[in-house]
Amino acid sequence: MLHQFRDLPTPMSESSPPKTPLYREEALAHQRERAWGELVVLTPRIARYMLWALAVLALVFVWFLVEAEYTRKARAFAVLSFAVDPTTVAATDAGTLTSIAVKEGERIARGQVIATVSTERTVAGVATFSGAASDAEARRAAISREKRELEAQLAAQSSQLTQRVQAIEMERAALAREIAAQEERVRQLQLQVDRFRQLAKEKFVSELQLQTKQDERAEQVVKVETLKRSDAALARDLSQARSELPLLQSATRSKLAALDRDAAALTQSSREDASRRAYDITAATDAVVERIIASPGQTLVQGAPLLRMQSGDGALQSDLFVPTRSAGFLKSGQVVRLAIDAFPFERYGHVEARIVEIGRVVLIPGEAGVPAQVREPAFRVRATLVTQAVVAYGQNYPLRNGLTAQADIELDRRPLYRWIIEPILRLRGSL
């Protein structure tokens, strides 16, 4: 249309100056070429989907860098041990171990006999302490026999004295009755003498008859006095007999006490000989027997270990030997994960523990108490176990002292983007 409009005749005179066209020639040419259609750039639908997917992935990647964390870990060798250090029971004197009265894993009480050690010596084929024990036994039997004889003698003499006292008492009772009768007779004779004296005054009886009655009374008085002297003698005998019994008992008790002292001294001597011949080792506290080191029949020197026992409740802990290069970020309360060698963690998982003590002394490989698996300088770190057993096949299998493990220790945890930008920032700071 524009092109046609340009070709129309104009009413203006030919002498008018030419005017500038309203549209550029290029625009008019473009309009003439539209008959071929417009250039359309087609974008495939799959490309749009991929573009959106890339955008989402980019957002996810950025979110992952911000939210995700990377943990730097270290691995250390570990050994399970009792939380309370075990006690080693040793022989106090040299000798031969004759018996052990406990078993491994047995719980023992304070004061319970653990083992017996013999210190017997043999001279010319004769056991010295055994011969002394035989002599002491013979002497003890003689003392017992002598005590029985003294007790029997005391019983016999006491019986004799008791019978004698009873006989004297009976004799005195009879004598007292006789004295009473005789005194009554004397009283009657005294009455007769008084009557005869009155009759003699009145000349009814002669003086001879009066004298006869007086003589008869005097004779009876003499008999009464004789009986009283006999009673006094019996009283002395009774008193002596009664006093002899306590004296006899006291003397016998003194002899028995002397024999008891001899027996006690002999018993003490026998105990001393027995203690030199053999001695018992007893538990100082309640504990569990962890390991028996010596065996019956073994010759022991003074201080030789017999067994190890664990006091307390037997709870286990873990001793971690952390290399010095990995110990910088350790802190108390930190959680570590133990892979018990006896229970592969791929199947049975880890056992968690919590650090309670970090050693300050560097342990060198080959030192006493350092396991052979420790290949470089390390610190001893102690951690308490969260659980004392491993669950396997639906059952709890208790952990044991001495089991080895590999400990995974978390040294540092930061977001991923920090791991990426911090080296750049450090490099920038160094520049």
pLDDT digits (tens, 9 = 90+) for 223-281: 888 888 888 888 888 888 788 878 878 887 888 888 888 888 878 777 766 666 778 88
Average pLDDT over residues 18-23: 64
pLDDT digits (tens, 9 = 90+) for 281-311: 888 888 888 889 988 888 888 888 999 887 7
Q: What CATH number does the domain located at 70-84+312-419 have?
A: 2.40.30.170
Q: Which residue has the higher pLDDT, 342 or 430?
A: 342
Q: What is the pLDDT of residue 1?
A: 41
Domain positions in the chain: 2-30, 70-84+312-419, 155-273
Q: What is the pLDDT of residue 204?
A: 76
Average pLDDT over residues 122-149: 70
Q: Is the pLDDT of residue 12 over 50?
A: no
Q: Is the pLDDT of residue 431 over 50?
A: no
Average pLDDT over residues 408-420: 75
Q: What is the pLDDT of residue 19?
A: 60
Place of tokens 């000798």: 95
pLDDT digits (tens, 9 = 90+) for 336-351: 998 888 888 778 888 8
Mean model confidence pLDDT for the chain: 79
How big is the CA angle at 245 (ends 239 and 247), to the nearest 5 degrees? 100
Return the minimum-mean-pLDDT range out of 121-125, 150-154, 416-420.
121-125
3-state class of 16 per DSSP? coil
Q: Is the pLDDT of residue 358 over 80?
A: yes
Chain centre distance of CA 156? 58
Q: Is the pLDDT of residue 408 over 60?
A: yes
Give the predicted TM-score (pTM) of the model. 0.46
CA distance 120 to 133: 12
pLDDT digits (tens, 9 = 90+) for 155-203: 888 888 888 888 888 888 888 888 888 888 888 888 887 887 887 787 7
Q: Which residue, 325, 276, 291, is CA-closest to 74?
A: 325
Chain centre distance of CA 342? 29
